[in-house]
């Protein structure tokens, strides 16, 4: 079985497949941070799909007969509901959507969202037999189709809440492996409640890149379930 993990520099899911003896590779435009450059394509994912392989980060040439399974984690910056407030001018919040001006700090946010949605759909419709694409709650549900499944880390042994939607092609929904507590939450000064692991990502003492990494974290139990269950198909 040849497995491609798209948009994954951490190699969290890739390594779980590798532990099972499966020929898995991660792919991202960013360099790998998972410690295995020999399993990572620092390249456009569609080039790796169409070419059935490529040159890994440590310059190994990889060629597969076909990609049997792809797990994709496309960026959610422009797709998730949590970023919706950055689309429109804050002074226009009481106006109909069609009358609102772009946000002064992010004037191209709308076009960026369209590009992100196109990328998401291309991943799910790629010429690979089995595909799973994950993202948080966002516009994909209304602009494309609803997810096939919604999961949380606490369903797979990690005490944390993180709503993760899964869009599936020729794959069954994941089965819970170890249901535990939903994890600690933090109440902000605004009264809003957030999972502690997520609130930690707003720490201004760490870099923007570190905060982004925290928010996009793939929990270990979830990664193990993906590899163990979907490798059977």
pLDDT tens digits along 111-147: 888 899 999 999 999 999 999 999 999 999 999 999 9
Strand, helix or coil at 193?
A: strand
pLDDT at 54: 98
Q: What pLDDT shows up at residue 100?
A: 78
pLDDT in tens, 218-232: 999 999 999 999 999
Quote the pLDDT of residue 192: 82
**Radius of gyration of the chain from its Cα atoms, rounded to whole angstroms:** 19
**What are the residue ranges of helices labelled H in the chain?**
12-19, 45-51, 109-124, 140-143, 196-199, 208-215, 220-230
**Cα-to-chain-centroid distance, residue 201:** 16
Separation CA 215–CA 198 (nearest Å): 6
98: pLDDT strictly greater than 90: no
Distance CA 167, CA 122 (A): 12
Q: Does residue 40 contact residue 61 with C-beta atoms inside 8 Å? A: no
For residue 88, what are the contacts with CB-CB under 8 A and spacing of at least 6?
97, 100, 101, 102, 103
The three-class DSSP label of residue 82 is helix
Backbone φ and ψ of 191, nearest 5°: 95, -10
Name beta bridge partners: 150: 165
CB atoms within 10 A of CB 198: 18
What pLDDT score does 50 carry? Answer: 97
Q: Is the pLDDT of residue 84 over 70?
A: no
Question: Average pLDDT of 169-184?
Answer: 97
195 versus 4: the higher-pLDDT residue is 4
Q: What is the pTM of this model?
A: 0.89
Q: What are the pLDDT digits (tens) for 23-56?
A: 999 999 999 999 999 999 999 999 999 999 999 9
């Amino acid at each position: 079985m040849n497995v491609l993990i798209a948009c994954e520099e951490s190699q969290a899911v890739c390594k779980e497949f590798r532990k099972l003896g499966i020929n898995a590779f991660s792919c991202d435009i960013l360099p790998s941070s998972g410690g295995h450059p020999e399993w990572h394509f620092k390249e456009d994912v569609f080039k790796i799909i169409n070419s059935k392989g490529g040159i890994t980060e440590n310059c190994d040439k990889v060629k597969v007969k076909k990609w049997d399974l792809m797990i994709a984690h496309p960026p959610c910056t422009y797709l998730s509901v949590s970023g919706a407030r950055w689309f429109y001018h804050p002074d226009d919040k009481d106006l109909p959507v069609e009358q609102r001006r772009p946000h002064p700090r992010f004037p191209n946010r709308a076009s960026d969202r369209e590009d992100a949605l196109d990328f998401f759909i291309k991943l799910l419709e790629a010429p690979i037999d089995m595909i799973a694409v994950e993202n948080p709650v966002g516009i994909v549900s209304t602009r494309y189709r609803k997810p096939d499944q919604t999961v949380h880390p606490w369903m797979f042994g990690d005490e944390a809440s993180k709503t993760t939607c899964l869009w599936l092609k020729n794959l069954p929904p994941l089965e819970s492996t170890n249901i535990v507590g939903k994890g600690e939450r933090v109440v902000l000064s605004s009264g809003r409640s957030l999972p502690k692991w997520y609130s930690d990502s707003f720490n201004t003492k760490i870099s923007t890149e570190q905060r982004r990494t925290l928010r996009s974290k793939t929990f270990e139990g979830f990664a193990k379930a993906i590899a163990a269950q979907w490798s059977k198909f």
